[in-house]
Amino acid sequence: MPCPYEKSMCIKVFVKWYELGGCTSEQELSSQKSDRFTSEHQLSSKKSDRFTSEHQLSSKKSDRFTSEHQLSSQKSDRSTSEHQLSSQKCDRFTSEHQLSSKKSDRSTSEHQLSSQPPSKLVNLCAPLSPMVFNDLFCLSHPEVHTLSLGVAKPQDFDEHLKTLELVDRASEILPLILVRLESEAIATLGEDWVKTWQTNLPALEKTPGEVNIRVILWLWNLAIAYDLVDYAKMRYNLLGNGSHWFPGNKGDRLDQLDLRQCLVHSPHADKIPHIMEQADKLLASAEVKRLSQS
């Protein structure tokens, strides 16, 4: 029969085992759960850190994208501004070109207008044109055999050629025209001046400043008597640039020169300096060069 003592001892041992072994196992299990919770918390924390890092990286990418977008927008604005500036320059160039074209057209029109002889001279030279009269007058002198022609437009050649059929009739046609021209000059300038203005004028090399007195007075006569102002201006402003072909200088420095000694034998010594001053005021403009130098 079982011993009651042994049974009591078994119960005590079991209780003791339970208290020791069983408690230890539960403690270890609780510790393991705690460790597992800690590990899961650490893992969750790492995931959270990773999520935070990824969020920060995404934020940086977003900031970078925003910066690149702003930079692209600035470049686009700059490109637009440059395009607008280029367009404005183009418009300005077009306007300047149109203005230059208008000035050129105006200059051409003025040149064409100035190349037309004044109506006063046209009437005095009738029935010839002033151009044909000039050619015929030159060729009527036996010492002249060649004419060097200048034309403002191609059609002027046709006008010059009309002279050839009139050469043999020069003595018949010219006298009446010459009388009209001289009469008009006398009526405008005075007979004494017309017939004696060239008397005892000094040679160019003996004139202070090499002022071409003879040419200046001749141009003055043409401008006043026959309205040949444009022609006289062109010739006057060629003085100083015409070399030996058209020698001498203009009368633009008369206040610095003393012409009394070189004009002492002229019947118009007192009158000539005043006329030359008037000629400079009427005819002076931009300098002109020979066509070969233009």
Residues near 147 by Cβ (< 8 Å), separated by ≥ 6?
A: 135, 138, 139, 160
Note whether 194 and 181 are same-domain residues: no
pLDDT above 90 covers a percentage of the chain that reads 52
183 within some domain: yes
pLDDT, tens only, 81-133: 666 766 666 566 555 655 555 544 444 444 444 568 999 999 999 999 999 99
pLDDT, tens only, 194-241: 999 999 999 999 999 999 999 999 999 999 999 999 999 999 999 998
Structure tokens at 75: 């470049």
Indicate if the pLDDT at residue 9 is higher than 60. Answer: no
Indicate if the pLDDT at residue 78 is higher than 90. Answer: no
38 within some domain: no
Q: Which of 166, 189, 212 is the last residue of a domain?
A: 189
Residues near 182 by Cβ (< 8 Å), separated by ≥ 6?
A: 194
Note whether 216 and 292 are same-domain residues: yes
What pLDDT was estimated at residue 285? 84
Residues near 36 by Cβ (< 8 Å), separated by ≥ 6?
A: none
Indicate if the pLDDT at residue 161 is higher than 50. Answer: yes
Note whether 149 and 113 are same-domain residues: yes
pLDDT above 70 covers a percentage of the chain that reads 59
43 within some domain: no
73 within some domain: no
Note whether 281 and 197 are same-domain residues: yes
Mean pLDDT computed over every residue of the chain = 79
Say if CB 240 and CB 130 are below 8 A apart. Answer: no
pTM: 0.61
Range of the domain at 205: 190-294
238 within some domain: yes
Picking from 18-32, 75-89, 192-206, which range would have the lowest pLDDT averaged per residue? 18-32
Q: Tokens 């029969």 map to which residue? A: 1
Q: Is the dihedral of CA 268, 274, 280, 282 positive or negative?
A: negative
231 within some domain: yes
Note whether 209 and 293 are same-domain residues: yes
Counting the structural domains of the chain, the total is 2
Q: Which of 142, 173, 189 is the last residue of a domain?
A: 189
Residues near 245 by Cβ (< 8 Å), separated by ≥ 6?
A: 290
Q: Which of 174, 189, 204 is the last residue of a domain?
A: 189
236 within some domain: yes
Note whether 198 and 220 are same-domain residues: yes
User: How far apart (Å, rounded) are the C-alpha atoms in residues 202 and 193?
Assistant: 17
87 within some domain: no
CA 276 to the chain's CA centroid:
37
